[in-house]
Structure 1
Amino acid sequence: MQGQATHTGSSIRVLRKQAGMTLADLAASAGTAIAYLSRVETGKVTPTNAFVAQVTRAIADRLAGVTEAPRMGIAA
């Protein structure tokens, strides 16, 4: 299962960076510890499905905010 943990962790890291988030940003948004998130990203621990869903939601919320921001203040 170490291979799966490494793949999951590296995928989270790529998505986090694409969203322009630091470890601290994502940890705060997902309600987890920076140290735990770091261990997940490096494949040292295998996250639960619930944790992956939590992190995915936090990244999606960040990306939604980025894509919505330019629309604010523009009349339709």
Structure 2
Amino acid sequence: MNQDISNTVTGAVGISGLLSIVISLVCIALAWWALQTLKLDLVIRNPKSPQGKLLHLLLAVVLGRFVAEFFIDYVMWSQMIRYMF
């Protein structure tokens, strides 16, 4: 009996972790795609330099992570609603 509960909890945690990874990567990719239209040459001197590309990547990771955090929280909250009733 305890082994069944342990396997169920372990599986749920694993699925939750995998879902978080996938959502984070998708949101980072979407942020990268959306930032392609941003004119970084207005902000930095040489946007084609390695530093400019790194800044673009870091902005995509930060923006994507914030968006992913929102979606992950939303999914977790929606799963908690079933325990209200």
TM over 0.5: no
TM range (shorter): 0.3 to 0.5
Query: TM-score under structure 2 normalisation?
Result: 0.35
Structure having the higher helix fraction is 2
- CA radius of gyration, larger in: 2
